[in-house]
Structure 1
């Protein structure tokens, strides 16, 4: 069993800045930001972010790379991301295994067709991104609501992309749960089939139940019990990996967010103790 490095993170939103900066020390091991929401800002926001990146480790989770887009790769954007990462000494850049642009920005995460041709296309683009940023690209398994033109399963698509590109995985357990309900597969099997060696870190979040067989991934609610159980299983199978709580709207006070952060930490400690007993 691989024992990874534990750690608990929280997504930093601009509306949280004053509260976070007012705390002498927030009990998180790392923060996460979307580069494009910060790298064009100057003045007060830049100073506030710099103050935090000097005190805490940071990871980044982008929104606009659009790795599967039919449009040409925006290398100028990728170079700007590299500059932002270097400026704040951030080593990890994650994005979505999806696309959000095609002759214009669509402001949503669209599913890449699960086909061998799409695998080859995405792999080539990943390698170009990694060459520019001089870091591994970390790609997240995404929630999706249709699979047009699929010739392989979601799992096989992800496994092929990871192996052929030599990139890393951001394991989002909530997205696995959402997709398992929406598309009728077994979430536990999906988690167990992922390659441990590729997991850089994880996400956990809440969602919205539109119907019994339709869940919308919103990041706007508390995490539900089946998703906590899935995270616990992921630790049992893959070892404890750094895990971040996502909350994008309906953001409660920091003290309430930290309750869920501490639940992640408790699951990590529980899993590490179990692994030590087994070893």
Structure 2
């Protein structure tokens, strides 16, 4: 299939949304995102449903389980399956979390990587190998975290910047993750944003979250985006421009498609405003 680079505002492609999307994809949605672990190698009805959309819309592959910072062997079989899957569906962008999630088995959680020079080198080597197999630069996502790894030799923004530089990869910017971490650990979200290697940004996420009774914020992707996160997204566009494709993540507690489309349209409006400011 011919390559289809993502652009504009997109939505996570979830099986719960397939039926309403088959009834009609809203004009606000320019592309979709999926996790290759959930689709690569699937046959039958699943692949037919996916192809119904991938033949008409760009898709982004957003990985969940590569464990770029993990100590176990890199899952090269998954990378080869993902490469073939992307070619089959004309996908051009792959991103993954800057985290670890496996040792001798999958842990089903995204854990922070120690912010050390040794971890920069280790993680960058694994990203370089992943890029070699996939045949393209990948985007690494700033992850939400709930513990501070011990022995830090640099702060989180410095660590992300160092990995991006060492691996010659791209940045997948998640503004909700910045907000979540800023509230949980007490730092300025906008200052953190400004300290990231934004010139490398290839992709953006925006999402909702859940606030525990004690005030801890959990990055659930199960609620509407709140105003401070929209403000942070607007700040990001002021710095990187409105051309970077941006996806609304929603993984459960799905409202109807019209409500999701309102949020996708908000992304598009913020992108358009940033482009207008740049052209002025």
Q: CA deviation at 1:213?
A: 4.8
Partner residue in 2 for 1:138? 139
Partner residue in 2 for 1:103? 104
Q: CA deviation at 1:211?
A: 4.7
Instruction: For 1:45-56, list aligned pairs within 5 A.
Output: 45-56=46-57
Q: CA deviation at 1:222?
A: 0.4
2:213 aligned with 1:187: no
Partner residue in 1 for 2:59? 58
* 1:134–1:272 CA distance, 2 compared to 1 (3 A): same
Query: What TM-score does the superposition give when structure 1 sets the normalisation length?
Result: 0.94
Partner residue in 2 for 1:79? 80
Partner residue in 1 for 2:123? 122
Deviates more, 1:237-246 or 1:208-217: 208-217
Instruction: For 1:220-239, list aligned pairs within 5 A.
Output: 220-239=222-241
Partner residue in 1 for 2:180? 178
CA distance in 1, matches of 2:105, 2:51: 32
One of 242, 245, 258 as aligned partner of 1:242: 245
* 1:25–1:186 CA distance, 2 compared to 1 (3 A): closer
Q: CA deviation at 1:201?
A: 1.1
Partner residue in 1 for 2:3? none
Partner residue in 1 for 2:254? 251
One of 267, 270, 278 as aligned partner of 1:267: 270
C-alpha contact 2:51 2:89 (8 A) present in aligned 1: yes
Deviates more, 1:186-195 or 1:201-210: 186-195
C-alpha contact 1:114 1:147 (8 A) present in aligned 2: no
CA distance in 2, matches of 1:25, 1:153: 41
C-alpha contact 2:32 2:59 (8 A) present in aligned 1: yes
CA distance in 2, matches of 1:232, 1:128: 34
Partner residue in 2 for 1:147? 148
- C-alpha root-mean-square deviation of aligned residues, in Å? 1.4
For this pair of structures, how many residues does the alignment match? 273
Partner residue in 2 for 1:156? 158
Superposed CA deviations along residues 140-161 of structure 1, whole A, max 9, x for unmatched, are: 0000011222221111100000
Query: What TM-score does the superposition give when structure 2 sets the normalisation length?
Result: 0.94
* 1:237–1:211 CA distance, 2 compared to 1 (3 A): farther
CA distance in 1, matches of 2:41, 2:100: 22
